[in-house]
Structure 1
């Protein structure tokens, strides 16, 4: 997952440098007033998103398999905890039922 994130960040950084160069060269218009850096960042984000979508497809699939594995392990752990809690609750209920039955017999 970290690898995918770093690759995506690298594509964004590359696009940022290219867009900044194009703005500096006058090929792409400057932003309004002091918003030039925001304009460059936004344009780089818009350009890098489809590039990342296409170029990082295999890496994204690998990352999703890792995430799905983690989710499955977490679900198994939660289910294990839930069953342990159910066993404890059932044991306490049995003890309470036995105690109330013993009280009824004593009375």
Structure 2
């Protein structure tokens, strides 16, 4: 496994979290300044988090396309290795029995 795909899932997750945190900070500042509605009553924190999620999801989808592809390749490679090991173990059991 190459080093570029060895930690693809961890890298993708960290980048996705970073985009969300960035959106959260921006939305919180905009809500504090009054550009974005603050929500109703005490719902401000929940409103800010939900708005940040809604904004960060499409951004992550577009910005992390290559990283998502690397993560997919890593997962497919791992599943293929597991299938190969399972097949080898089953054939060993069949030859012993």
Scaled to the shorter chain, the TM-score interval is: 0.7 to 0.9
5+ residue gaps, structure 1, are 90-107
2:30 corresponds to 1:22: yes
TM-score, with length taken from structure 1: 0.78
CA shift for structure 1 position 46: 0.5
Question: Please, which runs of 5 or more residues in structure 2 have no aligned partner?
Answer: 1-8
Q: Which residue of 1 aligns with 2:6?
A: none
| Counterpart position of 2:79 | 71
Question: Which has more radius of gyration?
Answer: 1
Q: TM-score, normalised by structure 2?
A: 0.86
Counterpart check, 1:46 vs 2:54:
yes
3-state SS, counterpart of residue 85 of structure 2: helix
Counterpart in the other structure of 2:4: none
Query: Could you tell me which residue of structure 2 aligns to residue 96 of structure 1?
Result: none
**Pick from 6, 31, 34: which aligns with 2:39?**
31
Q: Which residue of 1 aligns with 2:12?
A: 4
CA distance in 1, matches of 2:40, 2:94: 63
Structure with greater helix percent: 1
Structure 1 residues 37-90: Cα deviation after superposition (integer angstroms, max 9, x where no partner): 11111110110010011111111111111111001001111111121222233x
